[in-house]
Chain A
Amino acid sequence: MMTNPTGRLTQGQFSFLPALTDAEIAMQIDYGLKKGYAWSIEYTDDPHPRNTFWEMFGMPMFDLSDAAGVIMEMQACRKAFPQHYIRLMAFDSTRGVESVAMSFIVNRPADEPGFMLLRQEVDGRSMRYTTRGYGTEKPETKRY
Chain B
Amino acid sequence: MSDYSIPGVRAQTPAPVAAADTTDAKAVVLGQARSVGEVLAQSQVEDVLAELDRDLVGLAPVKARIRDIAALLVIDKLRTNLGLVSEAPSLHMNFVGNPGTGKTTVAMRMAQILHRLGYVRKGHLVAVTRDDLVGQYIGHTAPKTREVLKKAMGGVLFIDEAYYLYRPENERDYGQEAIEILLQVMENQRDDLVVILAGYKDRMDTFFQSNPGMSSRIAHHLDFPDYAVDELMQIGQKMLAQQNYVLEPDAEAVFHRYLGLRVQQPHFANARSVRNALDRARLRQASRLFADRDRQLSADDLRTLAAQDIASSRVFQQTPA
Find chain B residues with CB under 8 A from A10 CB. Answer: 7
Mostly, the B contact residues are loop
CB within 8 Å for A18 and B14 given contacts A61-B150, A66-B155: yes
Cross-chain contact A17 with B154 (CB below 8 angstroms)? no
Residue tally, chain A, CB below 8 Å to B:
29
Find chain B residues with CB under 8 A from A26 CB. Answer: 22
**B189 interface residue (CB < 8 Å to A):** yes
Assembly CA distance A127 to B222 (angstroms): 78
**B143 interface residue (CB < 8 Å to A):** yes
Assembly CA distance A10 to B150 (angstroms): 30
Cross-chain contact A21 with B16 (CB below 8 angstroms)? yes
Assembly CA distance A77 to B8 (angstroms): 22
CB within 8 Å for A18 and B155 given contacts A27-B22, A66-B122: no
Cross-chain contact B7 with A6 (CB below 8 angstroms)? yes
Cross-chain contact B5 with A18 (CB below 8 angstroms)? yes
**A65 interface residue (CB < 8 Å to B):** yes
Cross-chain contact A72 with B150 (CB below 8 angstroms)? yes
Residue tally, chain B, CB below 8 Å to A:
26
**B17 interface residue (CB < 8 Å to A):** yes
Assembly CA distance A107 to B234 (angstroms): 59
A4 → chain B closest CB, angstroms: 9
**B147 interface residue (CB < 8 Å to A):** yes
Closest to A8 in B: B8
CB within 8 Å for A65 and B153 given contacts A20-B14, A59-B143: yes
Cross-chain contact B12 with A18 (CB below 8 angstroms)? yes
Residues 93-139 of B contacting A (Cβ, < 8 Å):
121-122, 124
**B193 interface residue (CB < 8 Å to A):** yes
Cross-chain contact A66 with B121 (CB below 8 angstroms)? yes
Cross-chain contact B7 with A17 (CB below 8 angstroms)? yes
**A73 interface residue (CB < 8 Å to B):** yes
Assembly CA distance A119 to B155 (angstroms): 56
Assembly CA distance A41 to B149 (angstroms): 17
Residues 59-92 of A contacting B (Cβ, < 8 Å):
59, 61, 63-70, 72-73
Cross-chain contact B7 with A66 (CB below 8 angstroms)? no
Assembly CA distance A34 to B5 (angstroms): 31
B145 → chain A closest CB, angstroms: 12
Assembly CA distance A20 to B7 (angstroms): 11
A79 → chain B closest CB, angstroms: 13
CB within 8 Å for A68 and B14 given contacts A18-B5, A23-B22, A58-B143: no
- 9 sampled A-B residue pairs with Cβ under 8 A: A10-B7, A19-B14, A21-B14, A59-B143, A59-B147, A61-B147, A64-B151, A68-B150, A68-B189
